[in-house]
Amino acid sequence: MARKETVRNAELLVEKAMKGNDASHDSAHVFRVRDLALSLAHEQGLSSNPDSMEIIELAALLHDIGDYKYLRDPSEEKLVENFLEEEGVEEKKKSTILKIIKGMGFKEELVGHANGEQCQEFGFVQDADRLDAIGAIGIARCFTFGGSRKRVLHDPSILPRSDLSKEQYMNKQEQTTINHFHEKLLKLKDMMKTEAGKRRAEKRHQFMEEFLKEFYDEWNGKA
State the Cα–Cα distance between residues 150 and 61, nearest whole angstrom. Answer: 28
Mean per-residue pLDDT, 42-47: 96
- pTM of the predicted model as reported, rounded to 2 decimal places: 0.91
- Number of other CB atoms surrounding residue 24 within 10 Å: 21
What's the burial of 123, exposed, middle or buried (CB within 10 Å: 0-12/13-18/19+)? Answer: buried
Question: How long, in residues, is the chain?
Answer: 223
* Mean per-residue pLDDT over the chain, rounded: 90
Given this model, what pLDDT does residue 1 score?
46
Output the CA torsion sign for 102, 104, 110, 111. Answer: positive
Interval 53-87: pLDDT, tens: 999 999 999 999 988 787 776 666 789 999 999 99
Confidence of residue 108 (pLDDT cuts 50, 70, 90): low
Query: Residue 117: pLDDT above 70?
Result: no
Interval 126-160: pLDDT, tens: 999 999 999 999 999 999 999 999 999 999 999 99
Residues 6+ apart with CB under 8 A from 219: 154
What domains sit in the chain, N to C, each tagged with a CATH number?
Answer: 3-219 (1.10.3210.50)
Q: Are 129 and 104 in contact (CB under 8 A)?
A: yes
Map residue 19 onto helix, strand or coil: coil
